[in-house]
Each structure stands twice: as C-alpha cells, then as structure tokens.
Amino acid sequence: NAGVTQTPKFQVLKTGQSMTLQCAQDMNHEYMSWYRQDPGMGLRLIHYSVGAGITDQGEVPNGYNVSRSTTEDFPLRLLSAAPSQTSVYFCASSYSAPRGSGSYEQYFGPGTRLTVT
C-alpha cells in the first residue's frame, strides 16, 4: 500500500499560470479532501468528495476546481494562480464508515509546497 500520494512535491508558478496538483490513494477510500496550510496556521478545507462523481466546497474554495472521476484520484486545479495561493497543499482520504461508528480517520499525503510569484 502506497497510501496517499501527491505530486509534485514542490512547484513554483508565476501569477496567472494554471496547474493541477495530483492526488491518488490505493486504499479504496470513498472520502477524499484537499486542504491548504499557510505558515504557522492550521489546515483549511478547500474541496472534498464523498465518492466518485460527487464533490463539494469546503471553507476556502475560491480559485480552485476539483473533479472525482475515479475512486482513486482527486486532482486539484488552480485556474489562475495568485500569490495568495502560496501554501502547502495536503490531500487526505478516509473510509466510508458504517453509519454511527464515527470512525473516519483521515490519511494524509506528504504535501505539495506551492510558491506563486
């Protein structure tokens, strides 16, 4: 099991450029999420998905798009990069636990460090 993998590890973009951050998991998890973490801060939820074909917005969705065509992959697209999007991006996945069990441990990837100049 590779767990949750993210590519690239580092990326530098110029303002206005677009790119896609890749995330994949091999644990057959239904839930997947994208977070950003600014220096010295906690994680903020960008978008999430409860299964293939289903996505929804988190706390800070502006400037980002997602899609979920397969269970395994959940790419995050930056449409037109801005310096305010300089951050570390984490992808996470979790089980679809039986209702009432409360068990939804999230597994996080190693992160992508993005700098927008």
Partner 1 sequence: LAKTTQPISMDSYEGQEVNITCSHNNIATNDYITWYQQFPSQGPRFIIQGYKTKVTNEVASLFIPADRKSSTLSLPRVSLSDTAVYYCLVGYNTNAGKSTFGDGTTLTVKP
Site of interaction with partner 1 (CB under 8 A): 4, 31-33, 35, 41-45, 48-50, 56, 58-59, 90, 92, 94, 96-97, 99-111
Task: Look up residue 70 and give its two tokens.
Answer: 């397969």
As measured in angstroms, the least distance from the Cβ of 61 to partner 1 is 12
- What span, in angstroms and rounded, lies between the C-alpha atoms of 78 and 14? 12
As measured in angstroms, the least distance from the Cβ of 89 to partner 1 is 10
As measured in angstroms, the least distance from the Cβ of 105 to partner 1 is 4
Beta strand residue intervals within 3-86, DSSP E: 4-7, 10-13, 19-25, 31-37, 43-51, 54-57, 64-66, 76-78
- Our CB check for partner 1 shows the closer of 15 and 56 to be 56
- Our CB check for partner 1 shows the closer of 14 and 42 to be 42
- Our CB check for partner 1 shows the closer of 19 and 60 to be 60
As measured in angstroms, the least distance from the Cβ of 47 to partner 1 is 8
- Our CB check for partner 1 shows the closer of 18 and 104 to be 104
- What span, in angstroms and rounded, lies between the C-alpha atoms of 91 and 73? 10
Query: 3-class SS at 99?
Result: coil
Number of residues assigned to the chain? 117
